[in-house]
Amino acid sequence: MPKRHVRRSGLTMPVNNPRFLNAVWTRGCDFVNLDLEDSVPESQKPHARTLIKLAIPTAAKGGAEVFVRINHDYVEADLEGVVWPGLARVNYPKAETAEEMRKLDVIITRLERERGIRPGTVEIGANIETARGVANALEIASASPRIKDFGGGGGYDMSRDLGVEMFVGFDQFVYGKGELELTARALGVAVHRAGAFVPNTTGSVSDADRAFREAEASRKCGFREGGGLHPNVIEPQNRGFTPTEAEVTDAKRVLERYQALQRAGKGFEELDGRITDVYEARRAEELLEWAELCAERNAEKAEAVARTKAAE
């Protein structure tokens, strides 16, 4: 089983903004999503493509994984500009068919070979942002082994496709998100950026308090991935997606109790109204594994930041 990625927080930012790009390594995010799509004006896209090769190592200086969001309509030109060493993943917006995924896979495979990148390194992120994408979810997600996580089903493009307002007090995307999560779990890939519903009626992208509540609730619903558009939400997402010390202590205690039960030849015990059984033990195990991965990821990032600071 491959190592699980830790992608609790990530900034999506226009690659053609040098001020953002030069500061992004100091932000503490698990990944950076360099954007060629919506935040880059049409007239600047050709120029923006030429910036990616050097932007990848710049964005990675703080230990973040680097992704690029390409344009739905400029697959060939964008991929030529973005598949360079250091790239972890290509995010493809408005994915609607398996055919699109196969086309991306063929081009990425060729570019990896031509540019000395280990085959299979670059992931494909299929961003599902239309009703058609949700309807074709299973075919899309199974179209390429490069798809390592899968999800979505909300956001502005989805709201436009469905003709619904974006910031309402209820979850207008609940069905689509559910379909995509089921698809991911059925295929055994990670669930990408889906989450528990925490209302956002103002449209704010920088509300740290809300970001924390959403990340924490999402983690408790089994989700592990975040991401956003504003530096303010990075720390709260890192914190919200990481188990607390109290949770870690409790999980250890559950495991100990379960092991003691097994030694006694029992599989089930109730203590002060709380059940210890195989299900609780598995939950505790997963929590401890995740907490450890988060700690490793934090250490990697701290090391990268220290290296960069020493070098500069």
Binding site for other proteins (CB under 8 A): 14, 37-44, 130-132, 134-136, 155-157, 159-166, 168, 170, 172, 174-176, 178-179, 203, 205
- Residue nearer to other proteins on the CB measure, 65 or 96: 96
Q: In angstroms, rounded to a whole number, what is the distance separating the alpha carbons of residues 103 and 261?
A: 53
- Could you tell me the smallest distance in angstroms from the CB atom of residue 92 to other proteins? 16
CA distance 261 to 48: 60
Instruction: Report the b/e string of 14-31 with b at 16+ CB within 10 A.
Output: bbbbeebbeebbebbbbb
Taking the complex as a whole, the smallest distance from the CB of residue 143 to other proteins amounts, in Å, to 17
Number of H helices, E strands in the chain: 12, 9
DSSP classification of residue 2: P
Token digits of residue 38 = 């919506």
Nearer to other proteins, 43 or 263 (CB): 43
State in angstroms the smallest separation of the CB of 78 from other proteins. Answer: 16
Instruction: Please identify, using beta-carbon distances, which residue of 48 and 251 lies nearer to other proteins.
Output: 48
**What's the min distance (Å) between Cβ of 10 and other proteins?**
18
66 bridge partner residues: 32, 87
User: Strand pairing partners for 189?
Assistant: none
Pick 116 or 163: Cβ nearer other proteins: 163
* Strand ranges for the chain from DSSP E: 10-14, 31-35, 65-69, 87-92, 123-128, 149-152, 190-191, 269-271, 274-276
Q: Which is nearer to other proteins, 160 or 266 (CB)?
A: 160
CB of 164 to other proteins, least distance (A): 5
Q: Which is nearer to other proteins, 159 or 232 (CB)?
A: 159
Q: Is the Cβ–Cβ distance between 277 and 258 less than 8 Å? A: yes
- Whole-number minimum distance, CB 37 to other proteins, in Å? 8
Instruction: State phi, psi for 119 to the nearest 5 degrees.
Output: -55, 135
User: 270 φ, ψ to 5°?
Assistant: -115, 130
Shortest distance, CB of residue 135 to other proteins, whole angstroms? 4
Please, which residue, 45 or 148, has the CB nearer to other proteins? 45
